[in-house]
Amino acid sequence: MTARGARSRVSPWRLGGLSLRALGRRVYDELGRDEVPDRAAALSYYFLFALFPMLLFLTTLLGLLPGPSLMGPLLDYVSRVLPGDSAALVRQTLGEVTRGASAGLLSVGALAALWAASSGMASIMSALNVAYEAADDRPWWKRRLIAVVLTIAFALFVLGGLLLLVFGEELGRALAGWVGLGDAFTAAWEIARWPVAIAVALAGIGLIYYLAPAADHGWHWVTPGSAFALAGWLLASRGLRFYVASFANYNATYGSIGGVILLLLWLYVTGLILLVGAEIDAEIERAARGPGRRLATAREDLAP
């Protein structure tokens, strides 16, 4: 068995032999050492430029599916996550873009949108290399190709989760009729589709943590870092919505630019939590390898 195969069989939920307190202290120290807050601010800048191309790409992708349009439900979920002013800004901007382009131009423009959206994923790759202390020796075309593939995969995971949440009940009925099961299966599926949607989201985050950095580490469907990232993002988004609705009126303070500021703040929180989750997984892997040992990179693996 290869060293990589042996590492992949070690459960990350053992925390590398660390206690929760020790892991928290090590992650906290790494946040300052790796300048995570500053890198999250840089990510929010790239995310802002990648957000609308990503939504444009999703618009075209959703248009290829049979049945009713899924873009409305997708924007409804965006409205539940973002503060109200920011959600209105996203809706208005995306509506202006899609109304101003013909179907042919929108389809062709999806390729350019995919390339632009992958820039945000490329910035995540650079940030995760810092978290894993990995020297990225991959050629630029390979890094960009990985960024494009991860962007497409992330879009498909979003699409899959959306299908489960919006059309989960209809899918359950169709599956029950096809298999020949009764109402009991339909009722069970109605409950099970929520954990399945969560599993899809966790797998998407795990895929980014696995492929984005140039570190040599094992694949796990769910890691402590990905679980923290998903739960932390949901809680932080809810908390931000509550704070804005209850204590802050950004439109009164900043005028019409308040929605942009809130959107940037939400993107910053998203990037910060994503990087903290990566730091958690990186520290667990570091502890599992023993004191003083760095994560392997492609260059180190080839060294004699």
State percent of the chain over pLDDT 90: 16
Predicted confidence at residue 297, as pLDDT, reads 45
Q: Mean pLDDT check: name the lowest of 20-24, 52-56, 196-200, 208-212.
A: 52-56
**Residue 63 confidence class, pLDDT cut points 50, 70, 90:** low
In this structure, are residues 271 and 44 in contact, taking their beta carbons and an 8 Å threshold?
yes
The angle at the Cα of 209, spanning 198 to 293, to the nearest 5 degrees, equals 135
Chain position carrying tokens 């069989």: 9
Residue 303 has pLDDT above 50, yes or no: no
Specify if 53 maps to a domain: yes
Specify if 5 maps to a domain: no
> Residue 177: which domain range?
17-298
Specify if 256 maps to a domain: yes
Query: Alpha-carbon distance 26 to 158, whole Å?
Result: 32
Specify if 93 maps to a domain: yes
Query: Alpha-carbon distance 80 to 87, whole Å?
Result: 8
In this structure, are residues 275 and 284 in contact, taking their beta carbons and an 8 Å threshold?
no
Give the chain's domain count.
1
Specify if 114 maps to a domain: yes
Centroid of chain to Cα 238 = 17
Residue 66 has pLDDT above 80, yes or no: no
pLDDT in tens, 13-59: 888 888 999 999 999 999 999 889 999 998 888 888 777 777 777 66
Instruction: Determine the 3-state secondary structure of 220 from DSSP.
Output: coil
Predicted confidence at residue 22, as pLDDT, reads 93
Predicted confidence at residue 3, as pLDDT, reads 46
156 Cβ neighbours under 8 A, 6+ residues apart? none
Specify if 62 maps to a domain: yes
Specify if 304 maps to a domain: no
**Residue 231 confidence class, pLDDT cut points 50, 70, 90:** very high
Predicted confidence at residue 23, as pLDDT, reads 93
In this structure, are residues 120 and 267 in contact, taking their beta carbons and an 8 Å threshold?
no
Q: Dihedrals φ, ψ of 215, to 5°? A: -85, 150
Structure tokens at 38: 């500053």
Query: Alpha-carbon distance 115 to 158, whole Å?
Result: 18
Predicted confidence at residue 155, as pLDDT, reads 77
Nearest to 258 by CA among 46, 82, 39, 49: 82
Specify if 303 maps to a domain: no
DSSP 8-state symbol, 297: B
pTM of this prediction? 0.77
On average, the pLDDT of the chain sits at 76
**Residue 182 confidence class, pLDDT cut points 50, 70, 90:** low
